[in-house]
Amino acid sequence: MELKDYIYNIESVDEKGKSLKDVTPVFEDGAAFKMATKQMVKIAKKLKPTIIVSPESKGFILGAAVATTLGLGIVPIRSPKNLSREFIKDRYVSHSGETKELACHDDAITKGDRVVIIDDKLSSGNTLLTTAKLVERLGGNVVGIITLLELTDLNGIEKIKKYNFTSLVKDEAFNK
C-alpha cells in the first residue's frame, strides 16, 4: 500500500494549472489512515514531544490521532473567531493571496514545551510558519513539523527550513 495512491488529484483548479490534492481519502480508508498515523507517530516519538500542535482543520484529524497514540494533548491552532478564551494571533498571506489569521489560546503552550506540529500538507509554508511563530511566542520549542503531503514545487520548505521537517508523501501542485 502506498499513501500516495490515496491522495486524489483534482485537475487544474485555477488558471495557472494548479491542481488540488485531496488527502481526505487517506482518512476515509482505515488501513491508509492507520498507516499514515503509525508513520507520523514513529517520526514524532523520536523527537520526544510534550505536546502536539495542529492547525485547522485537516491537521486536527492527524494531530489528534498522533497525540492520542503518544498519550499527549493536542493544541488546536484556529481562526480567532473560533476561540472562546484569551488568545494570541498572527496574520499571514495564503498561497492564494488572501490575508488570514491564526490563533492559539494563550495558556495552551507551557514555556519549554517540546512541540511537534502536525498538518495535512505543506504548500506555501505560511500556515506552518505562522503556527511555529505562535508556539515560539508562548515559549514552546518546535522540535519538528510533520505533514502527510509536501507540494514540492510551491517551495514552502524555504519558509520553514530552520525547523526539522518531514513529509510522508511528496508531490507537485502544478500539472506538468
Residue 34 sits in a domain whose CATH number is 3.40.50.2020
Give pTM, 2 decimals.
Answer: 0.94
- Please give the Cα distance from 87 to 91 (Å, whole number): 13
* Domain assignment present for 176: no
156, three cell numbers: 514552502
At 13, the amino acid letter reads: V
pLDDT attached to residue 173: 79
Per-residue pLDDT of the chain (176 residues; tens, 9 = 90+): 899 999 998 876 566 666 788 999 999 999 999 999 999 999 999 999 999 999 998 999 999 999 999 999 999 999 999 999 999 999 998 877 889 999 999 999 999 999 999 999 999 999 999 999 999 999 999 999 999 999 999 999 999 999 999 999 999 877 55
- Please give the Cα distance from 156 to 129 (Å, whole number): 9
At 88, the amino acid letter reads: I
- Please give the Cα distance from 66 to 44 (Å, whole number): 8
User: Tens digit of pLDDT for each residue in 54-99?
Assistant: 999 899 999 999 999 999 999 999 999 999 999 999 999 887 788 9
* Domain assignment present for 22: yes
pLDDT attached to residue 12: 61
* Domain assignment present for 124: yes
- Please give the Cα distance from 86 to 143 (Å, whole number): 25
Name which of 130, 83, 87, 81 is nearest 105 in CA terms: 87
What's the total number of domains in the chain?
1
* Domain assignment present for 76: yes
Place of cell 476561540: 83
For the chain, the farthest-separated pair of C-alpha atoms sits apart, in whole angstroms, at 46
96, three cell numbers: 492564494
22 by DSSP, 3-state: which?
A: strand
- Please give the Cα distance from 50 to 47 (Å, whole number): 9
Helix axes 58-70, 30-47, angle to 10 degrees: 60
Q: Which domain holds residue 30?
A: 3-171
